[in-house]
Amino acid sequence: MKLRISAIFTFILFWYIVVFLKLVELPYPHKVLFVFTNLLFHPEPVLGKSLVEHATASVLRVLTASSIAFAVAIPMGVAMGWFEKFNVFTSTIVEILRPIPPLAWIPLAYILFSKLSNPVQTAQLFIVFIGAFFPCLISVVDAAKNTPAELIEMAKAFNADNKKILSSIVLPYSLQGIITGIRIGLGVGWMSIIAAEMLATSGAGLGYFIMVMYEVGGRIAEIISGMVLIGIIGYSMNWLLLKVEKMVMPWR
Amino acid sequence: MALEVIDVSKSFNNLKVLDNITFKVKDNSFTCIIGESGCGKTTLLRIVSGLEKADSGEILFNGKKLEINDVGFVFQDDRLLPWRTTLKNVAFGLEVRNDKRALEKAKDVLRFVGLEEFENYYPKQLSGGMRQLVGIARALAINPKILLMDEPFASLDAQTRNRMQAELLDIWNEEKKTVLFVTHNIDEAVYLADKIIVLSKRPARVVEEIKVDLERPRDRTSLEFVDVRKRVLELLNK
Ligand SMILES: Nc1ncnc2c1ncn2[C@@H]1O[C@H](COP(=O)(O)OP(=O)(O)OP(=O)(O)O)[C@@H](O)[C@H]1O
Ligand SMILES: [Mg+2]
């Protein structure tokens, strides 16, 4: 804990020095802190929304899209880990799609969904979906595949059918992989939404906020405030899920 | 009324593991199968349980094919589910059978083996001996006709192992089941068995069946006990 606090202080000190020496054109930390705390709840004049409102919009998008991604990736991953043939069949396609960064999907997504009533929203959800889906899937497949053969044999010795083996052995064994997958998936999804928001008018969202602050004339303190909040939220989601992990797996 | 293993042979690829294994086991008797490490004991139990198919031969129980539902299996490693408490682990087989009273029955069995205080412990929190006892309770819970035990005490220290053997005999005395107990420990076989089936080195054949007519509880240091031990040792070294 002491080390962590001194790390933060060192960083801020470094920031002051860099600005003081005019090495880069940055506002001082306390200036950013002032803007940040001010904008947290008070609407910023250009867009008329506070940081919290922007953050809420981004978080909701990520949660919606990631939930859909996880709802597909978890059962699919368990099935892929369990049925070798299904794994070979799907992993071929997965392995080709997986290295494509979520951001590379942005132009295609905007075109694909252009005919819908809310193309921007849909495309952004789609991009987060892509970002969250693959890391989660890979993590779940890996865990499910490693289910010890001994435990499966034990279940068979008690005459368990495939359904019981899947629900009582493979799924709980994969729980660690599922939670890790959700954690990493949310992380990637969070980065993807910020990028996706920067590319299109979405009315609200931290990515959109940063972009607009840049376009109206390089409001550095506002931009950094947005970035800081992105960092804080990303960190908190990760932290929260690590706690959840301990809670749902008391046997570890 | 008996369990019959008739002419069972098994090879893995080109490795012959079991060679015409034939023996009969009386109802409610305690039979130990002894053979050196790697000779095919686990394979034999897996075939008897139906987990593995024999290349030839058959397993009969009272003249009919033995059903996997009639068998309770206790493994060499405990194979408890780490995410389940003791109680839920014991209930596993009952759950598979869709028993509505699974937890109640599991509780009864835990009381029976003396682990009721530990019903909410996870396997990680139990000692090795307790874990094996939970494995035994899990097998007993489904009230099997035949109990197959694959070196359940092999990983325990000598003292715990002796205590567990005595405890197992207590359980068996009350629950009268047909037990097929695999071991490579001679002392253990002589202490537990009504009958010892001695297997040869791989490929395993039945070298001899030895009746052990000593009274229980057996004194491991008595002359008769040591005599039987000697006999088994000679046969194993043949
Ligand atoms: N599924 C399998 N595929 C290939 N070979 C196998 C398989 N199962 C067992 N064997 C081989 O069969 C032989 C007998 O194995 P088994 O596990 O039955 O021996 P064991 O008598 O139980 O040994 P231990 O006392 O060490 O437990 C070994 O050489 C093993 O390598
Ligand atoms: Mg073995």
Per-residue pLDDT tens digits for A87-105? 999 989 999 999 999 989 9
> Does the complex come out with an ipTM higher than 0.90?
yes
pLDDT tens, position by position, B45-79? 999 999 999 999 999 999 999 999 999 999 999 99
CATH at residue B8:
3.40.50.300
pTM listed for this prediction: 0.87
How far is the centre of ligand 1, averaged over its atoms, from the C-alpha of B106 (Å)? 32
Judged by a CB distance cut-off of 8 A, whether residue B15 touches chain A is no
Model confidence at B106: pLDDT above 80: yes
How far is the centre of ligand 1, averaged over its atoms, from the C-alpha of B16 (Å)? 10
Q: Answer yes or no: are the C-beta atoms of A200 and A124 closer than 8 Å.
A: yes
Q: Which residues of A lie closer than 8 Å to B, measured between beta carbons?
A: 150-151, 153-161, 164, 168-169, 172-173, 175, 249-252
Q: Indicate the top mutation candidate among B41, B47, B201 to test ligand 1's pocket, ranked by most ligand atoms within 8 A of CB.
A: B41
pLDDT tens, position by position, B18-53? 999 999 999 999 999 999 999 999 999 999 999 999
Judged by a CB distance cut-off of 8 A, whether residue B93 touches chain A is yes
Give the pLDDT band of residue B1 (cuts 50, 70, 90).
low
Pairing relationship of beta strands B178-183 and B30-34 according to DSSP bridges: parallel
Contacts of B144 (CB under 8 A, 6+ apart): B69, B70, B71, B72, B177
From first to last of its 252 residues, chain A has per-residue pLDDT tens of 889 999 999 999 999 999 999 988 899 999 999 999 999 999 999 999 999 999 999 999 999 999 999 999 999 999 999 988 999 999 899 999 999 999 899 889 889 998 998 888 899 999 999 999 999 999 999 999 999 999 999 999 999 999 999 999 999 999 999 999 999 999 999 999 998 898 777 789 999 999 999 999 889 999 999 999 999 999 999 999 999 998 999 888
Q: What are phi and psi of B153, to 5 degrees?
A: -110, 10
**C-alpha to C-alpha distance for B176 and B183, rounded to whole angstroms:** 20
Number of structural domains found in chain B: 1
From the list A153, A249, A252, the residue facing B51 with the nearest CB is A153
Give me chain B's average pLDDT, please.
95
Contacts of A106 (CB under 8 A, 6+ apart): A123, A127, A195, A196, A199
All structural domains of chain A: 1-37 (no CATH), 42-248 (1.10.3720.10)
**C-alpha to C-alpha distance for B63 and A26, rounded to whole angstroms:** 89
Residues near ligand 1 with C-beta < 6 Å? B 12, 15, 17, 35, 37-43, 76, 184
A33, HSE (Cβ side, Cα atoms, 13 Å): 6
Which residues constitute the domain of residue B88?
Answer: 3-236
